[in-house]
Structure 1
């Protein structure tokens, strides 16, 4: 523990000793853009646009060896066919060994504030799932709520419409997607499941890998920009999971999902804050658990609050944010049938640390996480994290 504290103290002193103007795109919630939106916003006058973001991290659970990892490197490509038609794609390399397509969609501008989209896209739920570039959030790791409840990065194939009602200061997104994959044949006449108690829906993401679909899902989000410095989001998702043709009629093969998300971001001078609440209600989980032997809860719930303050003068190019975030998330908020709620799945984290933006698009991060759950006698390791993030 003494070694961890010493390392963290050295990092804090070195951060504070640096003399580091606020990047409005990054920190003003009303002007904030994610990677895809930056590509779509004009392609910088070129037909082809190339960019990237990535993260290198160090994680050390207390009393254990640390782990160094290039968590992800995402290559961004955009092409502008004409004034109305654009293509955006993101190619992600995870842990230097896995390659995924994170986004790949065509955007067609029907009117100045109405666009049609089709392809592989992010599901609009919460903050981080759409804004997960490392320079846009505090903390080395993304909030746990956005892993256990919202399975970031959550993307599927679909079609939809997006735009803005200018008079109402209201942005909107509405999509039809394929859903989570819940089950597959186990080769012995039964079925095996992808969804479980600890990680909820995360194991069911299809990620456009030969995705099966038999029941499309609906996703929508509205963002309100009417008050200075404030951005409010309301998102919903509804539908059923997907199962292969040979088992989709079997009892317990599918479940129903209804998810509601509320989020808020605020910035005033050197202060920023954000918060999020997500609730998911799952139906037919008793039959699903009986058929698969899994322990999926019938309700998932999570929330967090975070505040941050820039310790450097407002007119400096560099920024040094000290932040603290409290989050609580439970993947067994409710259970059905004979399944007993597992208190180990009712978790809370306190994360505090620094985000040092040495230049627009480059951030150094350090934080310490106090982690716990509701299980009596639980001994969850606290964790020290360092990271380097880039985005251009």
Structure 2
């Protein structure tokens, strides 16, 4: 037992300064344990009530975090996630070798550094019961793949960086005999159906991902992300025209905090090439451009000297998985969406939050989307 430590050594779920914010993996890696096992976790229980429909109660996710420090240079981090009680995934599993204070080599199953939520998705680190829809339909979170690369920080110039080579999205399913059985991309969720998640992932065209974070101005953190490459198809079908597409995704994000006020924003644009051939082959409706953005502001209603915090927040999102289309594909206006989310986040203790919000949803089509009331509990330790 003396070799086991807990990730709660420096909880920052109440820490609103984005310059010092850490996610679960970063907390484990930066812990002061000399060697041995580090244990932690996070989870959320949600209640979603659309207007006019039955509500849904869900143990949305429970995640167990484990880290092992072999020595001062070599560490291993993994997250084992249970979604909706019955689905089990490995969300991260990577080995890090620290060459020095500025260079860390990594390999394994890792988060793709795009935007804010994909890396900082613990429920006590964001407002709203559910993650922003931009981070579901465009990014798409939680997006992780197997790869290798390098990360580090240069505090003298207030710059952090990450650069990785990953396997990419899977674009089609096949029967192993040269026949495509289904296309995985398109619709309201764009690329989301192509996430391989480290599950017997196929790879024939590696992709490149990178991010820069600048934190040189008080209370402000800026991010610039990029992801470039092509999707993956199995050996038996990867030479078929239309079996894969090219992806160029760019994202910018910002987080700011001053006393009791916080704000954040994000913009992501993905240009998809060869979608006409892909849609013609697979009978899908993948757009040639996916785009989304949001702005959020929050204010702590409790005195700043109190440990507890009660944030009132408002977020506006605009996201479209048919921002552009190719060939004969007609834009589906139902995929051009916008949401207002208004709510409260009551952080009752370090690592524990109670949330409530109301979402006003709309799109560019004539089909009405029901508004929704949400409640949630979140923990991180």
Does TM, normalized by the shorter one, top 0.5? yes
Q: Quick check: 2:245–2:275 contact (8 Å CA) kept in 1?
A: yes
1:184 is displaced (CA, Å) by: 2.0
The answer as to whether partners of 2:34 and 2:72 remain within 8 angstroms in 1 is: no
Out of 211, 226, 243, the residue aligned to residue 236 of structure 1 is: 226
**Conservation of the 8 A alpha-carbon contact between 1:114 and 1:163:** yes
CA contact (8 A) 2:13 2:351 kept: no
1:109-188 correspondence runs (5 A): 109-185=98-174
Deviation at 1:165, TM superposition (A): 2.0
Displacement, 1:42?
1.9
Equivalent positions of 1:242-261 (< 5 A) are: 242-261=232-251
DSSP 3-state at the match of 1:358: strand
1:224 equivalent in alignment to 2:211: no
SS in 2 for 1:294: coil
- Residue equivalent to 1:88: 77
Distance in 1 (alpha carbons) for counterparts of 2:179 and 2:286: 21
Question: 2: CA distance between counterparts of 1:214 and 1:173?
Answer: 23
Partner of residue 302, structure 1: 292
Shift of 1:334: 0.2
Q: Distance in 2 between matches of 1:170 and 1:25?
A: 24
Deviations 1:330-370 (A, max 9, x none): 00000000000110000000000000000010000000000
Match of 2:49 in 1: 60
> Counterparts of 2:258 and 2:305 in 1: how far apart (Å)?
14
Match of 1:8 in 2: none
Distance in 2 of aligned mates of 1:23 and 1:100:
25
SS in 2 for 1:312: coil
Equivalent position of 1:276 in the other structure: 266
> Unaligned 5+ residue runs, structure 1?
1-21
Per-residue deviation, 1:185:
2.0
C-alpha spacing 1:43/1:87, structure 2 compared with 1 (3 Å): farther
Distance across 2 between alignment mates of 1:336 and 1:132: 33
Normalised TM-score (structure 2): 0.95
Structure 1 Cα separation of the partners of residues 307 and 172 of structure 2: 51
Name the structure 1 match of 2:349. Answer: 359
TM-aligned CA distance change 1:46 to 1:315, over 3 Å: farther
Deviation at 1:191, TM superposition (A): 4.3
2:6 equivalent in structure 1? none
Scaled by the length of structure 1, the TM-score of the pair is 0.93
Describe how 1:15-54 pairs up with structure 2 within 5 A.
26-45=15-34, 47-54=36-43
The residue aligned with 2:376 is 387
- Distance in 1 between residues matched to 2:30 and 2:14, nearest whole Å: 12
Shift of 1:47: 1.6
Counterpart secondary structure, 2:188: coil
Q: How far has the Cα of 1:220 moved from its partner?
A: 0.1
Shift in Å at residue 26 of structure 1? 3.2
277, 280, 305: which is aligned to 1:315? 305
State the Cα distance separating 1:188 from its structure 2 match. 8.8
Considering only aligned residues, what root-mean-square deviation do their CA atoms show, in Å? 1.3
Mapped to 1, the partners of 2:110 and 2:158 lie a distance apart of 24
Moved more, 29-38 or 163-172: 163-172
Distance 1:244 1:92 in 2: 27
CA contact (8 A) 1:88 1:105 kept: yes
Q: Distance in 2 between matches of 1:189 and 1:319?
A: 56
Q: Deviations over 1:151-174 (max 9, x none)?
A: 100000000000012222110000
Q: How many residues get paired?
A: 370
Correspondent of 1:331 among 314, 321, 324? 321
Q: 2:150 matched to 1:199?
A: no
**Structure 2: runs of 5 or more not aligned:** 1-10
SS of match in other structure, 1:104:
strand
Q: Secondary structure at the match of 1:124?
A: coil
SS at 1:111 equivalent? coil
Q: What's the offset of the Cα at 1:84?
A: 0.3
Equivalence for 2:8: none
Deviation at 1:136, TM superposition (A): 0.1
